[in-house]
Amino acid sequence: MLLKTLRDQIDAIDSELVALLGKRVAVAREIARIKKREKLPILDPNREDEIKAKVKKLAGEHQISPLIMEEIFQLLLDYSRIEMESV
């Protein structure tokens, strides 16, 4: 396969990833609205632990480093929390 073809595939996947992350952040904002209305804390450490455990398991199933995926999702969780606090 040509290098350009593979790079085009990477570009398409990156676009999908960004779109999905945008959808995830939008859902997090909706969750923030509910939490604020119900006077619940934004931070839910148990939920974050569940997410990270699930991601690590999925990473292993897809031959991706679980530790790297945990780090990536920690960044995503941190960013989601920032967005949620701004709602």
Q: Quick one: pLDDT at residue 8? A: 97
Contact predicate 87/34, CB 8 Å: no
Segment 42-71, tens digit of pLDDT: 999 999 999 999 999 999 999 999 999 999
27 falls in which pLDDT band (50, 70, 90)?
very high
Residue 1 has pLDDT above 80, yes or no: no
79 falls in which pLDDT band (50, 70, 90)?
very high
Rounded Cα distance between 35 and 59, Å, is: 30
Amino acid at 58: L
Rounded Cα distance between 17 and 13, Å, is: 6
Global pTM reads 0.86
